[in-house]
Amino acid sequence: MRAEEVNLPAREKLIVALDFPTAEAGIEAAEKLRGRVGMFKVGSEVFTAEGPLLARYLIASGEQVFLDLKFHDIPNTVRGACRQAAEMGARMTNVHASGGRKMMEAAAEGAREGRSGAKPLVLAVTLLTSLSAQDLDELGISGAPEDVVVRWSRLAQSAGLDGVVASAREIAAIRRACGPRFVIVTPGIRSAASPSNDQVRTATPRAAMEAGADYLVVGRPITGAPEPAAAADSVVKEMEATAASPGSS
Ligand code: C5P
């Protein structure tokens, strides 16, 4: 679980999202960042276009991969998907908490069944950060978004998952509810100077680390920068500027 995450240097806690339409573009970006970041996130865009090509390439070349496909299906199917993520050698993968307890338990079991070395961390996506209170109302989900996030994080933990993907503003409440060993991975990171793109609820690297995130996910501010390597170094520097000791909570 989180014991090993706490003591990682800041660089190892930076996950770069490779959101590209082709594996070739993802590989090109990753090559510029090799050795400067801890992990690469492979998501549904490039996976839909090219299947596991990019993830397999990165793993074969010694990189850590977060397979971000947000599985949400019947337990048997999700077990199989998580088993395949483990077989592939992914370091992290994820599922929607709204799939319920049995699906999450099956996800954790599947990840343990993979035969390729260490079990990947299985994370829950609670509420998508794009959902508003009105969206929840339309979906018939009761309660304030923050309360739902905490409730579903607790459920994910009790179903045996290792952590959650959560925005910076949710970190403190999840940490209080789920304790110091629960892994929190936080996207929506923007330096004070960089554009927010389509992210609405952003936090700086420093603020997210101080709030208690274990890992940060950063995409376009790094991959879209004129010099991605320099942009990654500057995010790491901001993470290191954290007043609290790394990973403390
Ligand atoms: O380019 P940017 O830094 O906005 O990329 C953030 C990454 O994190 C994207 O791959 C996006 O899919 C993912 N993500 C997010 N918000 C969430 C969950 C995942 O931005 N709530």
Which pLDDT belongs to residue 118? 85
Structural domain spans, the chain: 2-241
- In this predicted structure, the answer to whether residue 1 has a pLDDT above a threshold of 60 is no
Whole-angstrom distance, CA of residue 10 vs CA of residue 100: 33
Q: Lowest mean pLDDT of 28-37, 65-74, 139-148, 152-161, name the range.
A: 139-148
Backbone angles phi, psi at 36, to 5 degrees: -105, -15
Structure confidence at residue 192 as a pLDDT band (50, 70, 90): confident
Q: What is the pLDDT of residue 3?
A: 55
**What's the pLDDT at 6?**
67
Between the CA of 188 and the centroid of ligand 1 the distance, in Å, is 6
| Ligand 1 centroid, distance to 154 Cα (angstroms) | 22
Give the CATH H-level superfamily of domain 2-241: Aldolase class I (3.20.20.70)
Atom of ligand 1 nearest to the CA of 167: 21
Separation of alpha carbons 33 and 216, rounded Å:
15
Residue 61 near ligand 1, beta carbon < 6 Å: no
Is 26 in contact with 46 (CB distance < 8 Å)? yes
Does 246 have pLDDT greater than 60?
no
pLDDT digits (tens, 9 = 90+) for 210-231: 999 999 999 999 999 999 999 9
User: Quick check: helix, strand or coil at residue 72?
Assistant: coil
CA dihedral (230, 232, 233, 238) positive or negative: positive
pLDDT digits (tens, 9 = 90+) for 71-126: 999 999 999 999 999 999 999 999 999 999 999 999 999 999 987 778 999 999 99
Q: Is 205 in the pocket of ligand 1 (CB under 6 A)?
A: no
Over the stretch 160-181, which tens digit does the pLDDT of each residue have?
A: 999 999 999 999 999 999 999 9
Tell me what the pLDDT averaged over the chain comes to: 93
Q: Is 187 in the pocket of ligand 1 (CB under 6 A)?
A: yes
pLDDT on residue 195:
73
pLDDT of residue 166: 95
When computed from its CA atoms, the radius of gyration of the chain, rounded to whole angstroms, is 17
Q: Please check whether residue 44 is in contact with residue 71, taking contact to mean a CB–CB distance below 8 angstroms.
A: no
Residue 245 pLDDT exceeds 70:
no
- Token match 């090799």: residue? 34
- The one-character DSSP state at 203 is B
pLDDT at 101 (0 to 100): 98
Q: Tell me how far apart the alpha carbons of residues 240 and 128 are, in angstroms, rounded to a whole number.
A: 28
State the Cα–Cα distance between residues 155 and 106, nearest whole angstrom: 14
Atom index in ligand 1 nearest the CA of residue 41 equals 10
The tokens for 126 are 């609670």
Per-residue pLDDT tens for 3-14? 566 679 999 999
Q: Using N-to-C axis directions, what is the helix angle for 145-158 and 100-113, rounded to 10°? A: 50
pTM of the model as a whole: 0.93
Q: Are 85 and 111 in contact (CB under 8 A)?
A: yes
User: What six digits make up the tokens of 202?
Assistant: 């952003």
The pLDDT score that the predictor gives to residue 185 is 98
Length of the chain: 249
| Active-site annotation, residues | 70
Q: Are 46 and 65 in contact (CB under 8 A)?
A: no
| Cα angle 96, 100, 102; round to 5 | 115
Q: How many alpha carbons fall within 13 Å on the CB side of residue 138?
A: 5
